């Protein structure tokens, strides 16, 4: 029997950043196997930094000009995918700097109160005090980054599902790696894994239904099939769309698929929480944007009302639940849910300005979030992180630098002018008013009211830090050089993107056109 084989052309320059990170992850695994424990920290840190920097250089120098389909159409290199991959690599790089001292770094001053003398400290005691002694976090993180980069550039649903699993499985493991409060961390990892497995099953079942409808898992071909409108198979279309979107909305923490978020954020090691909050959200929204604007736009009138309702509920519930929280990490988790709703407002405009607004918001939110969670790691009580809000009382008097830096992050989350949060909200809400019709205008009204509620919460924390008396045994430790760099970059960009947002907003605008 004669069989015809189609040669799959691969543009290696287009996927070079992915290959670089894959190579780095494999090297990291070999380091775990063959490098002595005493040297493993520095080697893993070097491998991680070199990998992310090399991937970013290759992406910006070569891959961004290689627009088109590759690997048989399963990978799409276009403006949004290049922009989002670059941002994911930047977030991964900053997160690695924060993680560095937490998996046993040699920073002798990492665990002393700010302003105090620095005692000697060896690697083992440093790792134990931090509650973070596992260097395998670096290759796990790189594997997750590979999945995120593939997720935003997937050209078909099967590749998107594989990318979803590749980015998710390492995060389940990383969530359970906290050495202090081990049971809480393991409980969070189990909840995240179980609910994540359900969401993956929803996505896969939806992809199967869409394959039955269109005869292909290719996103562009699904769009053509929707345009052709086959009445016989219409019963497969809407359930397939709903199930696929459920799988994606779980990853951004949208209501009612948000139950995992506060538990996972609270139980995971705080540097991992910052990475999850920033990078996972941008990867999931990249996939949502590609599906909504390329594959499923032909029947958006059928599923748009449900997504509008989800966006409204996400903003309202995320904002209201922040008011009741007494744990800083859980509060930031519900805050992230509200921010997911704000980004969905931009998505629902169904205009190219909505794409650029959503991408710009993701950039602003990510840098501020990484800095905020890095600052949370510095506030400690008897060697453990002090995450109860009552323990932050008076922190502004004892550690004004840490309290002031955290206040800047809170002001950005609240959307106060001259911070990135204000320009991000404007970039997200403006397209909804211009192109979203009456529904878009109502979503913006709800978003403004939700922002006011969260602003009350953020200002309450600032008042607690600077105007209330607190226990003197809660201190802010002096961060290592790498953590200081990560926090400084996050804070500078939080202010810079509020004062001079033009260059990044222009880059997002120029990168907002999907390849169809």
Identify whether the C-beta of residue 484 lies closer than 8 Å to the C-beta of residue 114.
Answer: no
pLDDT, residue 459, reads 94
68 vs 335: CA distance, rounded Å: 37
385: in domain: yes
391: in domain: yes
Mean pLDDT score, 267-279: 91
Distance in angstroms between the alpha carbons of the first and the last residue of the chain: 36
347 vs 354: CA distance, rounded Å: 6
pLDDT, residue 407, reads 95
Judged against a pLDDT cut of 90, whether residue 231 lies above it is answered with no
Which of 228-242, 424-438, 459-473 is predicted most confidently? 424-438
- Name which residue leads in pLDDT, 367 or 128: 367
How many domains does the chain contain in total?
Answer: 1
Task: Tell me the pairing of strands 379-381 and 474-476.
Answer: antiparallel
Residues whose CB falls within 8 Å of the CB of residue 190, separated by 6 or more in sequence, listed in order: 176
pLDDT, residue 3, reads 55
486 vs 371: CA distance, rounded Å: 7
Closest CA to 180 of 98, 64, 241, 266: 266
What are 85's two structure tokens?
């991959």
pLDDT, residue 109, reads 33
Judged against a pLDDT cut of 80, whether residue 102 lies above it is answered with no
pLDDT, residue 319, reads 94
343: in domain: yes
The whole domain housing 311 covers: 16-510
What are 446's two structure tokens?
């709800």
- Run of H or E including 70: strand 68-70
How far are the Cα atoms of 64, 86, 253, 369 from residue 503, in angstroms, in the given order? 17, 15, 29, 21
Residues whose CB falls within 8 Å of the CB of residue 85, separated by 6 or more in sequence, listed in order: 17, 59, 149, 152, 153
10: in domain: no
- Name which residue leads in pLDDT, 332 or 11: 332
- What would you report as the CA-atom Rg of the chain, rounded to the nearest whole angstrom? 22
Query: How high does pLDDT run on average in the chain?
Result: 87
DSSP for 317-339, written as a single string:
HHHHHHHT--BHHHHHHHHHHHH
Phi, psi of 9 (to 5 degrees): -85, 135
Mean pLDDT score, 372-396: 85
pLDDT-derived band at 5, boundaries 50, 70, 90: low
pLDDT, residue 398, reads 85
Judged against a pLDDT cut of 90, whether residue 338 lies above it is answered with yes
Global pTM value? 0.91
Q: Each residue of 471-489: b (16+ CB within 10 Å) or e?
A: eeebbbbbbbebbeebbeb
Percent of the residues in the chain that have a pLDDT greater than 90, as a whole number: 60
DSSP 455: H
pLDDT-derived band at 207, boundaries 50, 70, 90: very high
pLDDT, residue 149, reads 95
469: in domain: yes
Q: In sequence order, which ranges of 215-299 are alpha helices (DSSP H)?
A: 219-228, 234-252, 260-267, 270-275, 281-290
Whether the CA torsion 388, 393, 398, 402 is positive or negative: it is: positive
Helix pair 437-467, 328-347: axis angle to 10 deg: 160
pLDDT-derived band at 125, boundaries 50, 70, 90: very low
7: in domain: no
pLDDT, residue 233, reads 64
Identify whether the C-beta of residue 139 lies closer than 8 Å to the C-beta of residue 173.
Answer: no
- Name which residue leads in pLDDT, 134 or 163: 163
List the beta bridge partners of residue 379: 476
Dihedral angle computed from the Cα positions of residues 327, 359, 75 and 195, in that order, rounded to the nearest 10 degrees: 20
Identify whether the C-beta of residue 147 lies closer than 8 Å to the C-beta of residue 163.
Answer: yes
pLDDT, residue 232, reads 55
79: in domain: yes
Residue with tokens 């005869």: 215
Q: Would residue 284 be called left, alpha or beta, if left means φ above 0 and alpha means ψ between -120 and 50 degrees?
A: alpha
Mean pLDDT score, 175-181: 79
238 vs 217: CA distance, rounded Å: 15
Residues whose CB falls within 8 Å of the CB of residue 477, separated by 6 or more in sequence, listed in order: 110, 111, 112, 113, 114, 378, 380
pLDDT, residue 320, reads 94
pLDDT-derived band at 476, boundaries 50, 70, 90: confident
Model confidence over 437-450: pLDDT tens digits? Answer: 888 899 999 999 99
What are 130's two structure tokens?
């931090």
Model confidence over 19-39: pLDDT tens digits? Answer: 999 999 999 999 988 988 888
pLDDT, residue 245, reads 94
218 vs 224: CA distance, rounded Å: 10
344 vs 307: CA distance, rounded Å: 8
What are 137's two structure tokens?
């976090």
List the beta bridge partners of residue 113: 477
Judged against a pLDDT cut of 50, whether residue 123 lies above it is answered with no
Q: Would residue 199 be called left, alpha or beta, if left means φ above 0 and alpha means ψ between -120 and 50 degrees?
A: alpha
pLDDT-derived band at 120, boundaries 50, 70, 90: very low
232: in domain: yes
pLDDT-derived band at 132, boundaries 50, 70, 90: very low
Across 36-50, 225-239, 412-426, least confident range: 225-239
């Amino acid at each position: 029997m004669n069989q015809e084989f189609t040669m799959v052309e691969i543009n290696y320059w287009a996927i070079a950043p992915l290959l670089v990170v894959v190579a780095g992850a494999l090297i990291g695994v070999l380091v775990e196997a063959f490098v002595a424990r005493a040297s493993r920290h520095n080697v893993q840190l070097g491998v991680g930094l070199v990998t992310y920097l090399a991937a970013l250089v290759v992406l910006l120098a070569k891959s961004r000009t290689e627009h088109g389909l590759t690997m048989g159409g399963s990978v799409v290199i276009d403006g949004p995918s290049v922009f989002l991959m670059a941002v994911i690599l930047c977030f991964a790089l900053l997160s690695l700097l924060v993680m560095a001292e937490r998996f046993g770094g040699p920073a002798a001053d990492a665990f002393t109160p700010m302003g105090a003398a620095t005692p000697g400290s060896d690697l083992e005691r440093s790792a134990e005090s931090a509650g973070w002694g596992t260097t395998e976090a670096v290759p796990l993180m790189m594997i997750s980054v590979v999945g995120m980069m593939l997720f935003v550039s997937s050209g078909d649903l099967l590749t998107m599902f594989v990318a979803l699993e590749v980015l998710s499985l390492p995060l389940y493991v990383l969530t359970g790696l906290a050495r202090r409060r081990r049971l809480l961390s393991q409980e969070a990892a189990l909840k995240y894994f179980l609910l994540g497995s359900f969401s993956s099953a929803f996505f896969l079942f939806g992809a199967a239904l869409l394959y039955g409808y269109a005869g292909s898992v290719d996103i562009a071909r699904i769009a053509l099939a929707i345009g052709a409108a086959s009445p016989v198979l219409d019963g497969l279309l809407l359930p397939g769309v709903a199930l696929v979107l459920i799988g994606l909305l779980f990853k951004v923490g949208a209501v009612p698929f948000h139950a995992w978020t506060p538990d996972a954020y609270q139980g995971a090691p705080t540097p991992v929480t910052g990475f999850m909050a920033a990078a996972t959200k941008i990867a999931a929204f990249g996939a949502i944007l590609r599906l909504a604007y390329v594959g499923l736009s032909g029947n958006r009138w059928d599923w748009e009302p449900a997504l509008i309702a989800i966006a409204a509920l996400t903003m309202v519930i995320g904002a209201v639940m922040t008011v009741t929280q007494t744990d800083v990490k859980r509060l930031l988790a519900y805050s992230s849910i509200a921010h997911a709703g704000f980004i969905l407002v931009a998505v629902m405009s169904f205009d190219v300005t909505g794409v650029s607004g959503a991408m710009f918001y993701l950039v602003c939110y990510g840098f501020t979030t990484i800095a905020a969670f890095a600052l949370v790691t510095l506030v400690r009580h008897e060697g453990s992180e002090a995450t109860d809000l009552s323990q932050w009382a008076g922190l502004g008097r004892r550690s004004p630098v840490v309290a002031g830096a955290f206040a800047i992050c809170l002001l950005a989350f609240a959307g106060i002018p001259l911070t990135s949060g204000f320009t991000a909200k404007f970039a997200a809400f403006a397209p909804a008013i211009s192109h979203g019709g009456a529904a878009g205008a109502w979503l913006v009204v709800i978003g403004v009211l939700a922002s006011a509620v969260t602003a009350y919460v953020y200002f309450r924390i600032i008042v607690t830090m600077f105007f209330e008396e607190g226990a003197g045994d809660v201190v802010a430790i002096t961060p290592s050089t790498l953590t200081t760099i990560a926090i400084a970059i996050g804070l500078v960009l939080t202010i810079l993107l509020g004062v001079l947002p033009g260059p990044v907003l222009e880059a997002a605008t120029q990168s907002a056109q999907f390849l169809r």
